[in-house]
Structure 1
């Protein structure tokens, strides 16, 4: 499969159509919300950060999905298998959260009497701050993290939708940002410093979506033989004829791969069994892995015509990946996640 690389320039033309579909390793297309010609309620913009090591994870989301904004926080203790997620819905935002139009500058923030969240850029770094009152049982969650030394390459993709020419998804995944700072919850402080191998993943998404979509996404990052290795895998929505979002990362450099299939097992009732072993395989044979789940962060929200059914499953990957130069990376019990999400929005 020939995958098309994006060229620098505007993302949308004067009619609100995607100028080019394809992938890049940097955010080279310019997103401008004012150029969108679709109905306002279809515009979705979000920043999602996941920071984790082998013991603990924290995930923070700030989203402006037009008729509904959201602040969401998740903590997972991989030793005790405790997972807590809480979200605050912000009705009828329609762009007033003023999400930045690029991932490397600007500030995304929201504040109310119950929650304050702030993602902003400092020189050579990002700062993530959250104060979520009554996160669980009248106990607050306080997060103050610095992300720095971002890798040189990332996964960037511009995806069209066949059924709506004004619909598109412009997405960047940065895998392997170094992190330090602290998370305070339930009388315990989780302190992180550069020696902790605490690493972050950013999912930066801007676009116009159709009503009913399902996506599959998986990512992981960690250290293998003193080298930072990670990957981003995904599919399920839009027209991916021009390119996939599948990419390997090794010491900050991206290595493009083709289609990857998530094989989720079925139980005796022929329903998806998220907590049994998954299999992953790529069409170019450059990524093969099994995935052993340890915790399913599931959520089901149903509000009339709006619905979100999410399964973000954390677990261990064992397999091998081949870089562009033919180098084979073997990984064993490599902590990451894989998810299936269906949204009617």
Structure 2
């Protein structure tokens, strides 16, 4: 049974344990890094932005994972089925990046000799600016975006871990903001216009165990001139009562039960992936376009990411029985395995 949280309060009690678990449509629980009672080495905080059009995509991550922070940039070309990812590591941050305790307010600013990242949250807009000195060989990368028209509701999950009462994951995914801006990378200059560019924010704060593995998928766009999107995921933490599976229509969240994925073997090229929910309200086929792989291994630290971008076709049934048909909706499905 999924438990919806509706009462405002603290995320953690005086012992550093979760006050409650479940899901909500906004950040109603208050996160404060100072309330954490677990080892400071295990604290993970990040903001991940993805901005896409039908032809291109940009992924920006800034993370403070205590003993290792990072700024990561990916530029995706869906038309030519290519991508480039560059990650700049920052050792022993331990909260020095001062990522905001909420997604609603607060700015992010980080500058060193290789990268600059600025995130400004102002009234109803988010402004992103990023520069990397050597993105591809000796060529720099720069981008600037304005994100607006944030949907009324998002998906927020409060997830515990069975192996440690002081471990948790507090996560919000805002799906389907409008985006406008530009990317300059080498000789490329790409314009993102509000009528066809969409953005999502994956906002995460928590205390994790050493090993983690999750599946996550999302998509956003329009159907019949109405804004739609969805978020699906599983396998991370004790998800009993904390599913992040949901559909968004006209800015409102429609909760889904467990979603199962049927993924072909690697040698079965061209075969569609299939997704369906246990309540029968979510049925999708997924046609892959490009797999953004990112692998890092440094001694005891490992990160193996496989983020497959493609197009979803299928249907979703709303709470009142209305059927929404989806065709060639750009999105992704990923599998990430970490030891950190």
Whether TM exceeds 0.5 here: the answer is yes
Query: Aligned pair 1:198/2:197, yes or no?
Result: yes
C-alpha spacing 1:328/1:19, structure 2 compared with 1 (3 Å): same
* 2:306–2:336 CA contact under 8 A, matched in 1: yes
1: CA distance between counterparts of 2:15 and 2:57? 42
The answer to whether structure 1 residue 286 and structure 2 residue 285 are counterparts is: no
1:240 corresponds to:
239
Distance 2:87 2:79 in 1: 24
Which residue does 1:218 correspond to in 2?
217
Give the one of 309, 314, 336 matched to 1:314. 309
Judged with a 3 Å threshold, the aligned counterparts in structure 2 of structure 1 residues 19 and 77 are, in CA distance, closer, same or farther, namely same
Cα distance per residue 1:304-337 (max 9 Å; x no partner): 2111111000001111111112111111111100
Question: C-alpha distance in 2, partners of 1:134/1:32?
Answer: 35
In the alignment, does 2:76 pair up with 1:76?
yes
Give the Cα separation in 2 of the matches to 1:239 and 1:343.
17
Query: CA 1:65 to 1:203, structure 2 compared with 1: closer, same or farther past 3 Å?
Result: same
- 1:5 deviates by 2.5
- Map 1:303-342; keep pairs closer than 5 Å: 303-342=298-337
CA–CA distance in 1 between the matches of 2:256 and 2:328? 22
* Partners of 2:98 and 2:303 in 1: CA distance: 24
How far 1:6 sits from its partner (Å)?
Answer: 4.4
CA distance in 2, matches of 1:133, 1:52: 23
Structure 1 SS opposite 2:41: helix
Tell me how far 1:274 sits from its aligned partner: 8.8
**2: CA distance, partners of 1:177 / 1:323:** 21
Tell me, yes or no, if the aligned pair for 1:276 and 1:293 is still in contact at 8 Å. no
Give CA deviations for 1:170-217 in whole Å, capped at 9, x if unaligned.
Answer: 00000011111111112232122323x211000000000011111000
Provide structure 1 residue ranges, at least 5 long, that are not aligned to the other structure: none
The RMSD of aligned alpha carbons is: 1.3
Runs of 4+ in 1 over 4 A off after TM superposition: 273-276
Q: Distance in 2 between matches of 1:6 and 1:261?
A: 27
| Inter-partner Cα distance in structure 2 for 1:214 and 1:6 | 29
C-alpha distance in structure 2 between counterparts of 1:176 and 1:267, whole Å? 30
Unaligned runs of 5+ in 2: none
